[in-house]
Structure 1
Amino acid sequence: MAYRAREGIAPADVALAVVVQRMVEADAAGVMFTANPTNGRRDETVVSAAWGLGESVVSGAVTTDDVVVTDGRVMSRTTADKAVMTVPTGDGTVERPVPDADRGRAVLSDDDAVALAALGARIAAHFGAPQDVEWAHGPDGFAIVQARPITALPEPETAPPTDWSVPDNALYARASIVEQLPDPLTPLFEELIDPAVAHSLAALMHELLGEDAVRDGDVGLPTVNGYAYYRYTRSAMWRMTAKTPTAMKLLVSGGAQARWHARAHPAYAAAVARWADRPLDALSVTDLLHGVRFLLDAGTSYYTAVQTIIPIAASSEVLLTRFYETLVRRDGDPPAATLLLGFDSAPIRAERSLYGIAEWARGDARLVATLLGPGAADALLDPAHPVGGVDADVWREWTARFHAHLAAHGHTVYNLDFANAVPADDPAPLLDALRFFLRGEGADPVERQRRSATRRDELAASVRERLDPLRRKVFDRLLAWAQSAAPLREDALADIGLAWPHLRALLREIGRRLVSAGVIPTEDDVYWLRSAEILAADPVDVEPRKALWRGRRRATPPGLLPQGSWWDLMERFMPTATTEQSGPVIRGIGASAGQVTAPARVLGGPADFGRMQAGEVLVASITTPAWTPLFAMAAGVVTDVGGPLSHSSIVAREYGIPAVLGTAVATRRITDGERLLVDGDAGTVTLLDSTDTPAAATPERRPSWPGLLIGAAAVAAVALAVRRARL
């Protein structure tokens, strides 16, 4: 009755069936799942067995034997110590102790388990879906008592990988691009991205460091267990290290910024424009695939150019922070990050745009009610068909404003792998963020930015007043450099996905044609093919590839490979921990100061945006500029990947919320609703509801700011500035 009420089923609409079955005088009984409920694998049958009637199994009164059968063979078994069994009496049942000789004896032989699994396979085939089967074994053999569909069966997945060996003597690092690629790569993206990165990296190195900096085969972006790694041969690493003085000259000269602004970005925009308006139905699959490669190459070249911008923002902030913390800051002074707040950047402009749409929409109560309702994105954004009785002119204006927002900001990526949607082709997450503003739960971003700028300018003025002329001169130089560079990283990263809406449109067209040809069942399966399979157009079963991807996603990839070498010394500079953590305290990088106690909201991706509630701690693998609207709702931020100069930290500081990044394990250790104490100063997340005891050994973490090398660089730079000031 409670179930009917919850599901809205009227009592008059149902009929009660009474099943009368002959009692099986069972010497053994149990439950059988014709698909593994733990990992979702459809080729594994899991059988649980106990002595006596099945009542003790269903009630949980006894620990069962468990057998896993695959392809007619027992793959694994666990034999339990079965203390009790249920047996029939003249007028019911009773629990009795299992004879000592049977307590540790297997209920089913291998042959019995295989025979039972075969029955299960026939039942699943009959109903066309995996089944939860209750069985009994009596004098006449096996009897099936009940069969019903398995509920909440996970998607099938393989076991997570444990072997992280590499095929050569090169050095592998999950750096820089890891913030855009936190998951295993899908097959088509994996195939196309490696040569694209190798080409763009080599071209950049040749231009900036000379033709001898890298050679063919020196660099690339291969995968290990599906995860992307930058790969450098050891000889290339030493050659590039020798070029460090040349790279430093570029860093301080401003050449990288000019190159990005005057060359890299215009070239990328021009490449995208070449494919923006082509009629896709007039192109062959070969042409479409060529377009995918062309746009991916253009995007990769742009991203490689952006990597010359990131060190400028990073170095300028680190140097200013070191100087401020060492020679300027007094007790009670705000942190150095305050000096870099309140500037405009692409994510902030996107947030202002969305907030402005919400403010305009609030002028029409019927429009607000419609947008806060359950309508699908397609219906809510169709200008020709108003919904919910909204005036036609108001509706056209609403859709025009939102589509203009998508045109300007809809290319920001949640994940660089092109199998993941962008807002332009899946605006549902943006609508969820808009609803937050419509409910009045978000602060005005214009006012927040104004307050940040005021605090920034007041701190800078107070610092200048108390410094002697020499330190003031150094402070002014460092401050001017850091403030000019502060928006660069976010502006540069925001346009990485400029080609992605068009690139994904090409792939959707390929997918549509392959579905029509019977090659794949759904358009999105195109991402699980390889280019040769697309061109061959022969049917391909991609489900095993998806299962492999899901299993790999449960792994924690090491930041550096091979493990156990001198290369591990660089681990402290990586954007994620590589050590598993246990106990109630998770350690990461304190990237935005402050403390907060609040419930967790674990988001697997943009499809979960609608679950976020105001005042919760945002827990995610990564956050990119496309996640920025959620920061207005969050009480704090915790990520698996990231550091003090990543997008998460920059935006968290702008919003004044604590952030702990680079934990590696947050999304696997933290559950929705769990109370967290996020300490952005200490770089810790305490699981307040945890019953775990602290780990015996605390995993070593990197310092909040990259340590010895950057510290030495900061000291050297300040010393140089002071020396020049004295001349």
Structure 2
Amino acid sequence: MTSHMKFPSPYSLKAPEGAEGWEDLYPYYLLFNDKVRDKEEAKFWFCDSQHWPSPFKPFDTVTVEFAVKCLGQYNTRHYLIPPANGVDYRIHNGYCYMSPLAVPPDQIAGRVPHFMERAGHYFQNWDALLDNWMKKVRANIADMEALTFEPLPDVVPLDWIKDGVGLDNTYQMMETYDRAIQLLYKTWQYHFEFLNLGYAAYLDFFGFLKEQFPTIPDQAIAKMVQGVDVDLFRPDDELKKLAKLAVRLGVADALKSGTVEEALANVAAAANGKEWLDAWTEAQDPWFNFTSGNGFYSTDKYWNENLDIPLGYIRDYIGKLEKGEEIDRPTAKIAKERDRITAEYAELLPEELRPVFEGKLGLARTVFPYVENHNFYIEHWSMGVFWRKMRQLSAVLHQAGFWENADDMFFLNRQEVRDALFDYGNAWGVGGEPIGPVYWPEVIAKRKAILSALATQPPQPALNNPPDVITEPFTIMLWGITSESIARWLDGGKDKSKLVGMAASPGIAEGRARVIRSADELGLIEEGEILVTPVTAPSWAPVFGKIRATVTDIGGMMSHAAIVCREYGLPAVTGTGNASSTIKTGQMLRVDGATGEVQILS
């Protein structure tokens, strides 16, 4: 079977040199197993580098496990989405590969009435259920914030003795850790409660229009639901407000240089400084619970813990304002374009189909904002709190000598952390020495070396034989994986001066390329450049004021990169497959967001 495969089989794809034994870093159920080789090779797998662009530390796999498992359950067990079950996933050479599970054709019809009843209930009571969701998610964040990890004391507190508590401090510590993991699990259960329905309603609208107008561009359909005001854009909006306020109050110069501490001290000394500082503090809760990554990695940097990031963006905005430039999103222009295109297609429809169109459009517009909004509450805010608490725990065990660096715990998986905690508490309880300090540093050093080796090789975009046609809607919309994109991966792009991807956001731009591999490199972007990257995070929006266009390797029409670019009026081509490894920084590019073509001009 392997000989004629179009993409390599995971069973024949070797690890990069120095990464041998990488399988030990991940749970058994996430590995390709020899005993089911025939089944696994019969499936097509694509790499989800959109959400997980770098190899997983063992602890960080909790994000892919909880996210993809919960995504699947809503299709399969909650709403019975007629054509689609969940997505199967594996880790290979440190990267995540996915394979959507279709519903057997003979079972689709039987699911329709269940879907109508279950999803219908949500669609009919969307606002009330969404209010309830907000309450649940905020309560869950508060529960997570309340957790705390402290080193074990010399003795159990005397008042515990006098109150007859009958427990020690390790009991609470173990319970708190387990609770943190369960609260994270709950976070991801909530995440998908509405998301899949948001996509389903949009896809229903999309399918209806494609049926009526077979040649309608995907982009035209996307434009009909654009112009959404969502909380995901609030952090960036808050920075713009702070920049405008700084200019108005005359504290802009005070903010311009030095460390965060120095800049804030300069403002405090200025005449209207207090008013600006109050606004700065107020914006932080909750809007600085925001990461320049995507929340899926323990290494993601959050604004509220790295205030130099938001301050850097504010400085950029102040510079633009002082030059008399416009920094606001072109919301009116986008809404106008939305209304124009909607009216044009509505007029082309036969009279009797107009109410159907209005109904489907109305539903898509009602549910669509959630597709972006949940991101702020889950990936950014909830995940930020979770990682902060885990770093607190890692630091406690670091102080106890378990590992060399304060954040080394993330090289253990979540089950091993329980063992390390028991070891720590056990030694404390019996008055002996824990084994962890002589056991873990060596294991961690070996794992670090393996992860460094895995990171030297970009992931294969896909594994095994692709199907003749990709029909699974999520795969197309979210990941941008279509029969065309697979053909492009396979042929490696014959014409080296041109790349083709999804026409994700309209407009034409020319400029110098700036290739960025991670959020840490965002500071390198210069005014007027074209951003080329494997994938953008929604939180990169503040750099959109500097760049002329975006080009990504992965992502469909409904990827965050595409949605954010449309809302910011920036041309984008997504899902090119290999732009970030083909294009070099400094090359001149021409990006056409309406045709999906990227020309390398130099």
TM range (shorter): 0.7 to 0.9
- Residue 349 (1) aligns with residue 234 (2): yes
1:110-121 equivalences in 2 (<5 Å): none
Contact 2:195 2:370 in 1 (8 A): no
- 465, 489, 492: which one pairs with 2:371? 489
Contact 1:292 1:503 in 2 (8 A): yes
Cα deviations by residue, 1:139-159 (Å, 9 ceiling, x for unpaired): xxxxxxxxxxxxxxxxx9847
Name 1:415's counterpart in structure 2: 294
Q: 1:186: how far off? A: 1.5
- Residue 663 (1) aligns with residue 580 (2): no
* SS of the residue 2:196 aligns to: coil
The alpha-carbon distance between structure 1 residues 226 and 565, as it changes in their structure 2 partners (threshold 3 A), is same
Of stretches 677-686 and 225-234 in structure 1, the one that deviates more from structure 2 is 225-234
What is the total number of aligned residue pairs between the two structures?
515
Q: 1:346: how far off? A: 1.9
Contact 2:150 2:393 in 1 (8 A): no
The alpha-carbon distance between structure 1 residues 584 and 200, as it changes in their structure 2 partners (threshold 3 A), is closer
Name 2:203's counterpart in structure 1: 315
Q: 1:477: how far off? A: 3.0
- Structure 1 residue runs without a partner (length 5+): 1-155, 381-385, 690-727
Name 2:402's counterpart in structure 1: 519
| Cα distance in structure 1, aligned partners of 2:273 and 2:581 | 42
Contact 1:190 1:223 in 2 (8 A): no
1:241-390 equivalences in 2 (<5 Å): 245-246=112-113, 249=116, 253=120, 255=122, 258=126, 261-281=130-150, 286-312=174-200, 314-316=202-204, 318-319=206-207, 322=210, 335-365=220-250, 367-375=251-259, 377=260, 380=263, 386-388=264-266, 390=268
Q: 1:678: how far off? A: 1.3
Letter in 1 for 2:55: P
Q: 1:659: how far off? A: 1.0
* SS of the residue 2:150 aligns to: helix
Q: 1:220: how far off? A: 6.1
The alpha-carbon distance between structure 1 residues 206 and 462, as it changes in their structure 2 partners (threshold 3 A), is closer
Cα deviations by residue, 1:237-278 (Å, 9 ceiling, x for unpaired): 789757652575369736267396155443332222112134
Cα deviations by residue, 1:626-674 (Å, 9 ceiling, x for unpaired): 2222223221111122101111111212222221111232222223222
- Residue 587 (1) aligns with residue 466 (2): no
* SS of the residue 1:417 aligns to: coil
| Cα distance in structure 2, aligned partners of 1:649 and 1:291 | 36
Name 2:59's counterpart in structure 1: 188
| Cα distance in structure 1, aligned partners of 2:220 and 2:63 | 43
- 556, 559, 569: which one pairs with 1:643? 556
The alpha-carbon distance between structure 1 residues 466 and 237, as it changes in their structure 2 partners (threshold 3 A), is closer
- 223, 226, 239: which one pairs with 2:91? 223
Name 1:403's counterpart in structure 2: 281
The alpha-carbon distance between structure 1 residues 426 and 224, as it changes in their structure 2 partners (threshold 3 A), is same
| Cα distance in structure 1, aligned partners of 2:348 and 2:63 | 56
The alpha-carbon distance between structure 1 residues 686 and 548, as it changes in their structure 2 partners (threshold 3 A), is farther
1:138-149 equivalences in 2 (<5 Å): none
Name 1:451's counterpart in structure 2: 333
Higher strand share: 1
Cα deviations by residue, 1:262-317 (Å, 9 ceiling, x for unpaired): 55443332222112134443775534532431232122212332442342353155
Cα deviations by residue, 1:154-191 (Å, 9 ceiling, x for unpaired): xx98479999993232557558x763323222211225
- Structure 2 residue runs without a partner (length 5+): 1-15, 24-29, 152-168, 424-435
**TM-score scaled by length of structure 2:** 0.73
**TM-score scaled by length of structure 1:** 0.62
1:164-203 equivalences in 2 (<5 Å): 166-167=32-33, 168=36, 169-170=39-40, 171=43, 173-174=45-46, 179-190=50-61, 193-194=64-65, 197-198=68-69, 201-202=72-73
The alpha-carbon distance between structure 1 residues 324 and 372, as it changes in their structure 2 partners (threshold 3 A), is farther
Q: 1:394: how far off? A: 4.3
Cα deviations by residue, 1:83-139 (Å, 9 ceiling, x for unpaired): xxxxxxxxxxxxxxxxxxxxxxxxxxxxxxxxxxxxxxxxxxxxxxxxxxxxxxxxx
The alpha-carbon distance between structure 1 residues 667 and 182, as it changes in their structure 2 partners (threshold 3 A), is same
Higher helix share: 2
* SS of the residue 1:249 aligns to: helix
The alpha-carbon distance between structure 1 residues 683 and 476, as it changes in their structure 2 partners (threshold 3 A), is same
| Cα distance in structure 2, aligned partners of 1:439 and 1:646 | 30
Name 1:209's counterpart in structure 2: 80
- Residue 424 (1) aligns with residue 309 (2): no
Name 1:97's counterpart in structure 2: none
Q: CA RMSD in A?
A: 4.0
Contact 2:44 2:465 in 1 (8 A): no
The alpha-carbon distance between structure 1 residues 631 and 527, as it changes in their structure 2 partners (threshold 3 A), is same
Contact 2:58 2:410 in 1 (8 A): yes
* SS of the residue 2:304 aligns to: coil
* SS of the residue 1:597 aligns to: strand
| Cα distance in structure 2, aligned partners of 1:178 and 1:310 | 22
The alpha-carbon distance between structure 1 residues 324 and 635, as it changes in their structure 2 partners (threshold 3 A), is farther
Give the fraction of aligned pairs with identical amino acids, expressed as a percent.
Answer: 21
- 279, 295, 320: which one pairs with 1:440? 320
Letter in 2 for 1:592: S
Contact 1:422 1:500 in 2 (8 A): no
Q: 1:360: how far off? A: 0.4
* SS of the residue 1:344 aligns to: coil
